[in-house]
Amino acid sequence: MTGWAYAARILDRHPLDGMRGPPQAKVRLHVPVEQVRSLLAFAAQQVVDVGGGLTGDHRSRFLAHRAQQLLLLTRLAAGSGARRGELATLQMGNLDGDVLTIAS
């Protein structure tokens, strides 16, 4: 409606003049290598801290399993270079033998 009023010269200025669009997302930078090494070391240390998890009560086995899974996922993320969305959509069907295939 206001665009029509501007086209009909009822308004001397377009209502959207001076308006800016939404801000653009900043480019995400790669994580520094030292920070990746620190994350991997932390995940590995958690596995050591909780022990092997083969003995003990249910909770200690659960904590050991969770620490091992965290280490594996951290290694996958660091080693593959995949983005968050690609990692989130990985499924067993993406495995071809022992090789992980990530297709966009």
Q: Tell me the Cα Rg of the chain.
A: 26
Contacts of 51 (CB under 8 A, 6+ apart): 60, 64
Mean pLDDT of 82-86: 81
Report the amino acid identity of residue 4. W
Contacts of 25 (CB under 8 A, 6+ apart): none
Residue 2 in this model has a pLDDT that exceeds 90: no
pLDDT per position as a tens digit, 3-35:
788 888 888 888 888 888 888 888 878 888 999
- The rounded mean pLDDT for the chain is 83
Mean pLDDT of 53-81: 85
What pLDDT is attached to residue 5?
85
At 6 the three-state DSSP class reads helix
Whether residue 35 contacts residue 24, with contact meaning beta carbons closer than 8 Å, is answered with: no
Mean pLDDT of 74-78: 89
Instruction: Name the residue ranges covered by the structural domains of the chain.
Output: 32-80
